[in-house]
Amino acid sequence: MKIIIHGGFFSESSQTAETKIAKQQSLTNIIDRSWDYLKEHTAAETAVFAVSLLEDDELFNAGTGSQIQSDGKIRMSASLMNGETQKFSGVINIESVKNPIKVAELLKDEDDRVLGGQGAKIYASAHGIEDYSTEIPQRRSEYEEKLKNGGLGTVGCVVLDKDGKLAAATSTGGKGFELVGRISDSATVAGNYANRHCAVSCTGVGEDIVSNATATKIVTRVSDGLSVQEAFRRTFSELAEIDGFAGAIGIDSYGNIHFQESHPTMVFAAYDGEKHMMFK
């Protein structure tokens, strides 16, 4: 069993040493809880569990900590991909829910598995997801002062379970102050992808990740026989050609964990049962 989680880039908001430590401590707690959960659950279930915990922490730009868009509203996106079934499900620009990733999970057995905007909210309400305000005072003050803080925040999790099954889940609160209707990479296969060979979750500038098809390229290259390390290297070299800003975490079917970032500021942690690793 292996698990790795990420909390986006430190540059996603105004960072202090105190905030950095708080994020690291939160990731440590979340990965410990998720590892215990993984012992009795599947990769897909655990990915959702871990991302929901990240969404609940206002330190990260997802769920409760989500950024406000240019019209003052919070809209979130999230997706789940089960490597065994190779089915992708997600929500785009959903409003007023606590955990977008749980709505994405509900959609996994539907014929229509990716919903956006009002339709996603109607579906969530019809399936018992209660209204929830994800706005926190910090985000409102940022909006009122028209402060832009980078749009580099996303959370994600990649898991290999005891049966050798892989899954990836990713969630975001968006850029912050983006054009209404803007779609991030988090609910696309560019930002979140898995099959039987590899699973990957990305963070960074969504437009760069989509242009590079980052997650899909890495997973496809591993499927075609490259090592996960080489698949990351080649994909990030292509990202550099467009001066792209991104980070990614991944696990292959052999349990090899790998990460790479175009800028050394991503915050993430991994656990393989023997060694607890806080990389950033």
3-state secondary structure of 45: helix
Tell me the residue length of the chain. 280
Catalytic residue, chosen from 46, 64, 154, 170, is 154
Write out the H or E segment, with its range, that includes residue 68. Answer: none
Pairing of strands 87-94, 114-116: parallel
Whose CA is closest to 35, among 2, 76, 77, 74? 2
Residue 227 exposed, middle or buried by CB count within 10 Å (0-12, 13-18, 19+): middle
Pairing of strands 192-194, 166-172: unpaired
Catalytic annotation present for 85? no
Structure tokens that stand for 137 in this block? 């005072």
3-state secondary structure of 23: helix
Question: Tokens 């997802």 correspond to what residue?
Answer: 62
Q: How far apart are the first and last CA of the chain?
A: 22
DSSP 187: T
Q: Kindly list the catalytic residues.
A: 154
